[in-house]
Amino acid sequence: MTINAHFTTHSPWPAAKWRQQAIRFGRYLGLIPDEIPAMPPTRRQLLMAAQDRRRAEQRRAAELARSRH
């Protein structure tokens, strides 16, 4: 018997859906603040956010360099 039992992939209610429901219920009860996203960001979303931050930093650096001359 495993302690951390995994849901089967052909389950009509996947684990992600259970998690979402639990978070929604926790919010309803006031146990979880609304700022926390129901689903964690995907790897692609994290990469896109990092890319956006880098571009913004480069833009700021370019503007600073332009204003100094």
Q: Per-residue b/e over 21-48, b at no fewer than 16 CB within 10 Å?
A: eebeeeeeeeeeeeeeeeeeeeeeeeee
Q: Which pTM value belongs to this model?
A: 0.42
What are 1-54's pLDDT values in tens digits?
556 666 555 666 677 788 888 888 888 888 877 776 667 778 998 999 999 999
Domain-wise residue ranges, the chain: 15-68
pLDDT in the model for residue 55: 96
pLDDT in the model for residue 9: 58
C-alpha distances out from residue 49 to 44, 52, 55, 59, 66, Å: 9, 5, 10, 15, 26
